Amino acid sequence: MKRENAPLSRRVLLVSKCAAVVAPMLLSAGCGDGRESCSGIAAMSATSYRFDANVTTAKGIEVDTSGQAVDLAAVDCIVDAFESCFRPTPPEAPSYRGQVDRGCVRVKIAPDWRLSTCGHQGKQIFPCDLRDYSDECRAAAETECPCACAGVVQDFNMLVVTPDLAALSHELTHVVTDYDDPFPASFQPCADGIRADNCRQFLEDGTHARSPAASWPTVSPAMCGTKAVR
């Protein structure tokens, strides 16, 4: 859904049936870290990681690997494929200018990621504090299966993801379109179908559209205003 203000971006793993997540007030803003020409989103974030870029991709995207092994070529590949997928600019996203300003995108690998042992086993996730946004997450906070994220936008334009980069295109979609979850149907192939294991094929022959979307089941908007799984 298109919001008056920029969205709080989060992909959430919920421990039981999905509960609505209420986004706090969000403001479009320039980056306060020397990137005054960049636009982004300011949100009451579910994470508070520090960003210390230690590498830059070949195409100029700053990455804080948090000491993890990260395929930098895959970061560029996913962004390239996303950009190609979004051409021409969808009418639902007039704010998207047809290309991603790589100097205004920062990627942070969550240092405390883990493999989920709860409902969606084997997925890479990291802690995120959603107690203020969901009664269910508040109730689950002290259980063995608290809510967790696979991706989130923090501090204007910092895409917090896991080493497999599974949620990178999803979080990038939030930043460049100003849409909250759920996305319009036309966004889905670009937002949730581009992964490190298929981006090169898409760039070569455009078969990405026939590939299955990332295996994060879509929750009915009537149930929840976010992308979630149990």
Please indicate, yes or no, if residue 215 is contained in any of the structural domains: yes
Please indicate, yes or no, if residue 2 is contained in any of the structural domains: no
Is the peptide bond prior to 146 cis by the omega test (within 30 degrees of 0)?
no
Please indicate, yes or no, if residue 131 is contained in any of the structural domains: yes
Domain that holds residue 101: 10-229
Please indicate, yes or no, if residue 158 is contained in any of the structural domains: yes
Which residue intervals of the chain are DSSP H helices?
72-85, 135-140, 168-177, 188-192, 199-205
104: CB partners within 8 A, 6+ apart:
31, 35, 37, 38, 39, 40, 157
The total number of structural domains that make up the chain: 1
Which tens digit of pLDDT belongs to each residue from 94-149?
878 888 999 989 999 999 999 998 877 789 999 988 777 778 888 888 788 888 89
- Would you say 152 and 44 are in contact if contact means Cβ atoms under 8 Å apart? no
- Would you say 51 and 111 are in contact if contact means Cβ atoms under 8 Å apart? no
Cα 26 to chain centroid, rounded:
16
Please indicate, yes or no, if residue 112 is contained in any of the structural domains: yes
The answer to whether residue 220 scores a pLDDT higher than 70 is no
User: Percent of the chain at pLDDT above 90?
Assistant: 37
pLDDT band at 89 (very low <50, low <70, confident <90, very high): confident
Is residue 14 helix, strand or coil? coil
Q: What is the chain's mean pLDDT, rounded?
A: 75
- Would you say 150 and 128 are in contact if contact means Cβ atoms under 8 Å apart? no
Which tens digit of pLDDT belongs to each residue from 9-55?
444 444 322 222 323 223 333 344 445 556 555 454 789 999 999 99
Mean pLDDT for the stretch of residues 50-77: 97
Please indicate, yes or no, if residue 4 is contained in any of the structural domains: no
Please indicate, yes or no, if residue 156 is contained in any of the structural domains: yes
- Would you say 192 and 215 are in contact if contact means Cβ atoms under 8 Å apart? no
Is the peptide bond prior to 94 cis by the omega test (within 30 degrees of 0)?
no
- The predicted structure's pLDDT at residue 73: 98
